[in-house]
Amino acid sequence: MKRLVKAALVHLALATISAGAQSPTGSSTPTTPPQVRPALSQEQQLPAPQQQDAASREKAEAEKARREAQAQVAKKLDQETRARGYWIDPSTGLMWPANDNGKDLAWHAAANYCRSLRFAGFSDWRLATIDELASLVDKSAPAPERVGNTQVIQINVAGIGRHVRGGLSLTGDPWSSTRELDRFGHPYGDGWFFDFVQSKPSGDLPYLRNTKYALCVRRSGK
């Protein structure tokens, strides 16, 4: 009898120890602690709105300074061209008067004007070709700044209309000497002029009846 009681007490003690080893929920599986996401470093964090605004302002100020410097260079070139009365393009070697003829005229009259021009001590002036006129477009300026005034195409202090290089002042679109040649080498067909408002050549002038302006040119160094 004593042996049975002793065995029962041992069994009860083992059961108590086993119950104490279990978790409060009744599961013996240990609880996994929650994972903590590491904070982003300063370099990985997105820029604050204030930093973005500061970067935008800095970029705008740099662009403004660039435009102002470009306008100052253009203004200085204008003054130098006006003082001399002409401009020699260092990239092409072409010599241009500071101004065109100042009034509109037909193509043949424009060609005769340049042939008879006596200016700056030279008499070998001629009407410019379409490619020579195209070389006067200031390609360093953005396209919207190359849109000029249809009445007077010239450069102003702000740089708006800065599409004619060399500080040249044009009254309007100039004729070019470029025309189609027949089999005998004689010019015929439409006359071409350069549209400085659109910065492109145009030949939509049937029978040369429209009037444009004369901008003469000569090769320097002759």
Q: Is residue 123 part of a domain?
A: yes
Domain range for 168 is 64-219
The set of residues, in sequence order, having a beta carbon less than 8 Å from that of 178 and lying 6+ positions away, is: 129, 130, 131, 192, 201
**50 pLDDT exceeds 80?**
no
Question: Would strands 200-202 and 86-88 be described as parallel, antiparallel, or unpaired?
Answer: unpaired
Considering the domain boundaries, does residue 197 fall inside one? yes
CA 62 to chain centre: 15
Q: Based on the structure, what is the number of domains in the chain?
A: 1
Q: What is the pLDDT of residue 147?
A: 38
Confidence of residue 117 (pLDDT cuts 50, 70, 90): very high
Q: Is the pLDDT of residue 49 over 70?
A: yes
Is 36 domain-assigned?
Answer: no
What pLDDT is recorded for position 94?
A: 97
Question: Would 90 be classed as within a structural domain?
Answer: yes
Question: 152 lies in a domain?
Answer: yes
Residue-wise pLDDT tens digits, 133-181: 999 987 765 544 443 333 334 433 333 334 688 888 888 889 999 887 7
- Inter-residue contact 170 to 164 (CB < 8 Å): yes
Residue 38 lies in a domain: no
Q: Check: CB of residue 75 under 8 Å from CB of residue 68.
A: no
Q: What would the two tokens of residue 25 be?
A: 């929920």
| 166 within domain boundaries | yes
Specify the CATH number for the domain of residue 182: 3.10.100
Residue 70 lies in a domain: yes
Q: Which residues contact 127 (CB under 8 A, 6 or more apart)?
A: 110, 111, 114, 115, 175, 176, 177, 214, 215, 216, 217
Q: Are strands 216-219 and 200-202 parallel, antiparallel or unpaired?
A: unpaired
Band (62; pLDDT cuts 50, 70, 90): confident
Please tell me whether the overall predicted TM-score, pTM, comes out greater than 0.75 for this model: no
Mean pLDDT, the chain, as a whole number?
A: 74
Rounded average pLDDT over 92-121: 94
State which of 5-9, 14-18, 137-141, 215-219 shows the largest mean pLDDT: 215-219
Return the higher-pLDDT residue of 57 and 150.
Answer: 57
Q: Using pLDDT thresholds of 50, 70 and 90, give the confidence band for residue 18.
A: low
